[in-house]
Amino acid sequence: MSERGPINPLALPIADAAKLLSKAGARLIRVEQIEADVAAGAPTNDDGTINLVMYAAWLSETRGQSRGD
C-alpha cells in the first residue's frame, strides 16, 4: 500500500483494497477481480475509491443471490 498516511477503509484506491484484502484473507485478491466486481455493480465512491464496508455488503448480497438465499 502507499505511504500516504493512515489507511481509510471508507475510501481506498482499488489497488490498495486488493492488497489489504489479500493480506487480511487466506487468498490473493487481484485488482482485476475488484474491477470486475465494480463493472458488475459493486459500489464505489464518487472518486472511484472503494468503501470496504459497502463493498463487503455488496459481496455478501450478491453471493447470497447466487446461492438462492
Q: What is the pLDDT of residues 8-61, one digit of tens each?
A: 999 999 999 999 999 998 899 999 999 999 999 999 999 999 999 999 999 999
Q: Give 12-27 pLDDT, tens digit per residue.
A: 999 999 999 999 988 9
Q: How many domains does the chain have?
A: 1
Q: Residue 44: its pLDDT value, please? A: 98
Q: Is residue 1 situated within a structural domain?
A: no
CB 17 within 8 A of CB 53: no
Q: Residue 64: its pLDDT value, please? A: 76
Q: Is residue 19 situated within a structural domain?
A: yes
Q: Is residue 43 situated within a structural domain?
A: yes
Percent of the chain with pLDDT over 70: 88
Quote the domain boundaries for residue 35. Answer: 14-67
CB 25 within 8 A of CB 33: no
pTM of the model: 0.82
